[in-house]
Amino acid sequence: MYTFVLFAHSWTRWVLLLLAVLVLFRSLIGLIQGQSYTQLDKKLGLAFFWALNVQFVLGLALYAGLSPVTRAAFSDMAAAMKDSAIRFFVAEHFVTAILAIGAGHFGIARAKKVDEDRKKHMFMLIGSGICLALMLALIPWPNLPYGRALFFLP
- Structural domain contains residue 145: no
Whole-number percent of the chain with pLDDT over 70: 100
When the pLDDT of each residue in the chain is averaged and rounded to a whole number, the result is 95
- Structural domain contains residue 148: no
Give the model's confidence band at 33: pLDDT under 50 very low, under 70 low, under 90 confident, else very high.
very high
Give the model's confidence band at 152: pLDDT under 50 very low, under 70 low, under 90 confident, else very high.
confident
- Structural domain contains residue 79: yes
Give the model's confidence band at 151: pLDDT under 50 very low, under 70 low, under 90 confident, else very high.
confident
- Structural domain contains residue 81: yes
The total number of residues written for the chain in this structure: 154
Residue 109 to residue 147: CA distance in whole angstroms: 33
pLDDT of 82 reads 94
Tell me the mean pLDDT in the region 5-15.
96
Over the stretch 90-120, which tens digit does the pLDDT of each residue have?
Answer: 999 999 999 999 999 999 999 999 999 999 9
Comparing 65 with 136, the larger pLDDT belongs to 136
Task: Decide if pLDDT at 125 tops 90.
Answer: yes
Q: Is 8 helix (H, G, I), strand (E, B) or coil?
A: helix
- Structural domain contains residue 152: no
Residue 133 to residue 56: CA distance in whole angstroms: 17
Parent domain of 28:
2-138
Residues with Cβ within 8 Å of residue 70, at least 6 apart in sequence: 62, 63, 64, 89, 90
Q: How many domains does the chain have?
A: 1
Tell me the mean pLDDT in the region 75-97.
93
pLDDT of 153 reads 81
pLDDT of 109 reads 97
- Structural domain contains residue 153: no
Give the other-Cβ count within 10 Å of 59's Cβ.
22
Comparing 128 with 145, the larger pLDDT belongs to 128
